[in-house]
Structure 1
Amino acid sequence: MDPSSAGAGYRGDDFYCDVAIPHPDRLEVVHEDDRVLAFHHTRPFWAVHIVVVPKRHIPSLTAATAADEADVRALLELVQAVAREVESTHGAAAVLTNLGAYQDSKHLHVHIHSGNRVVAP
């Protein structure tokens, strides 16, 4: 399957629980283990655009609790490793998470990106 079609037509509010985590074979996976998944965004906004998510549902960064500590720690460790690689390879990287109305998918996720924007905001 073409990774760019992995989310085609998706209309729910948690792409990660509904599509990405149960179907990593539909994605261009960067890293996967028992706690976290990193993959190239299915509809990238930047030349390099990777998303990192915890596999266990956590609604957002601000909703995380002490019970989520191991998953958030694993997420941040992978974000750091992927960002380090993107920075090393491309000379720069940015790390972003969205909250509230800015968060299209109601599942904690972090964007790592570099390069020019490839779609309009």
Structure 2
Amino acid sequence: MSDDCIFCKIVRGEIPCKKVYEDEDLLAFHDIHPQAPVHFMVIPKRHIASLADATPEDAPLLGKLFAKLGELARSQGLTDGFRTLVNTGRIGRQEVYHLHVHVVGGPEPLGPMLPRK
């Protein structure tokens, strides 16, 4: 874990969160600035700065994370679909450098992912 990473501090219990799920490898919690009626994030407890920093050794952990998303989305009422988003690096507008997957959705269809030109 990283001493100054806000998500590592959440994993350690130093900063509170509204948990959706937790096990030995993963933590899911609601976003403090939701962009949809349902908006939570799933993170590995082990610090990986970004998707660009993931290695082949991380594959089992990332597989577990992505395999859990459907169950977690359904547990939050997203039974008719949802969007997953992983921002990576400066160009990808990553704000917290701890790998995290946003899960967003609600009763109405979401808008386009990126503006069409």
Provide the TM-score with structure 2 as the length reference. Answer: 0.75
What SS class does the counterpart of residue 52 from structure 1 fall into?
strand
Aligned-pair identity (%):
35
What SS class does the counterpart of residue 81 from structure 1 fall into?
helix
Q: How does 1:41-60 map to 2 (within 5 A)?
A: 41-60=31-50
Query: 2:88 maps to which residue?
Result: 99
Q: Distance in 1 between matches of 2:69 and 2:51?
A: 13
Choose from 68, 74, 88 the match for 2:64.
74
Structure 2: which 5+ runs fail to align? 111-117
Structure 1: which 5+ runs fail to align? 1-11
Q: Distance in 2 between matches of 1:92 and 1:13?
A: 35
Q: Distance in 2 between matches of 1:76 and 1:106?
A: 19
What SS class does the counterpart of residue 37 from structure 2 fall into?
strand
Across the aligned residues of Structure 1 and Structure 2, the Cα RMSD in angstroms comes to: 2.4
Measured against aligned partners, the alpha-carbon deviations of 1:7-62 in whole angstroms (never above 9, x if no partner) come to xxxxx9732112x2112882111110000001111221221101000000111112
Provide the TM-score with structure 1 as the length reference. Answer: 0.73
